[in-house]
Amino acid sequence: MKTILALAASTAIAFSTMAAQAETIRVAGNFATEHSSSLAMVKFEEELERLSGGEIDVNIFPAQQLGGAAENVQAVKIGGVEMMWVGTAYLTRTVPGLEIIGLPFQFKDREQAFAIVDGPVGSALDAELADEGMTSMGYMELGFRQLTNNVRPIEKIEDIAGLKIRLQPNETHLATFRALGANPVAMDVKELYSALEQGVIDGQENPFAIINVAGYAEVQKYVSNTGHFFDFISVAANKKWFDGLDADKQAMIKEAMATAVAFQRELAAEQDAAGLGQLVDKGMTYTEVSPELAAALRDKTANVAAETKSRLDPDLVTLLDSEIEKLGM
């Protein structure tokens, strides 16, 4: 009996020691639990806990459980939270260089977009994030952003004029909609649904999948496939915390995140393809953007990209232009 008690006691001490030594990672996000990025973070949690044999405990907080996107950025930057996944636009006021991958009508498809962020341009942006105390862990797909509103269908460029549209806090995005004659308003996503519901704003812009899972079909009438920006989700960690981990743990985190990012990109494409049909099924009126309107949108916003580039690091602009030329874009 004494032997059994001694064994039980030693086992309890061993488990207590393991628990005390386990690394806990809190990961904050503002996307809905059913969005592809949130599902990918669950994949990250599963992969990392498997790779670490339970030595790393991951706690995922989607759907604004730890605050809105802007609050998550600040929490990670100061070390209040270890990691986050957030729309890249919410980082542009901290790292202005990120605007270089958010220019209007920049990419014709997701393959071009990822070729840029997975190459030298992405590496240069990661270095800028590091200068601001954050370690980049990869880029997921947010996708092509589409316009919705409660006033009228968008059939010609004049239909956008005067609309009060919520945008992310990204200067290039705001300038684009000013050029189109709209009244853009920077607003955190946590305030968006109620602002639409109360009529404080006329519309918003997001990928079809986001519009669907966020329930905006309940408070918006019209949707169009404007595809004016391709947007990314940045996964980032507090640099001081990450640099303080041993090399093995860092490697496991990077491996698990690479698996999660690949999973998310595939699932995001599937969700986006299904999103428009789901919005129509929920009662939204869909208006296809004609070739004439698409050309007018591009012409009207042509100067925005040049203006953005003029206030960014010239070396970064040169690098982007070089990579675009290599891709034949």
Predicted confidence at residue 321, as pLDDT, reads 96
Domain assignment of residue 52, given as a range: 2-327
- The mean pLDDT of 156-166, rounded to a whole number, is 98
Pairwise CA distance, residues 229 & 113, whole Å:
10
Pairwise CA distance, residues 43 & 49, whole Å:
10
**279-309 pLDDT, tens per residue?**
999 999 999 999 999 999 999 999 999 999 9
Predicted confidence at residue 30, as pLDDT, reads 94
Domains in the chain, number: 1
Predicted confidence at residue 4, as pLDDT, reads 37
Tell me the pLDDT band of 199, cut-offs 50, 70 and 90.
very high
pLDDT at residue 250 tops 60 = yes
- The mean pLDDT of 252-265, rounded to a whole number, is 98
DSSP labels, 190-205: GGHHHHHHTTSSSEEE
**99-144 pLDDT, tens per residue?**
999 999 999 999 999 999 999 999 999 999 999 999 999 999 999 9
pLDDT at residue 16 tops 80 = no
DSSP labels, 224-257: E-----EEEEEEEEEHHHHHTS-HHHHHHHHHHH
pLDDT at residue 22 tops 90 = no
- The mean pLDDT of 203-227, rounded to a whole number, is 97
pLDDT at residue 313 tops 60 = yes
Predicted confidence at residue 3, as pLDDT, reads 38
Which CATH number goes with the domain that contains 177? 3.40.190.170
| Helix 314-327 × helix 120-131 angle, to 10° | 150
- The chain-wide mean pLDDT, for the chain, equals 93
CB-CB neighbours of 53 under 10 Å: 9
**46-81 pLDDT, tens per residue?**
999 999 999 999 999 999 999 999 999 999 999 999
- What are the helix (H) ranges across the chain? 2-21, 36-51, 69-78, 110-117, 120-131, 171-179, 192-197, 208-213, 239-243, 247-281, 291-300, 302-310, 314-327
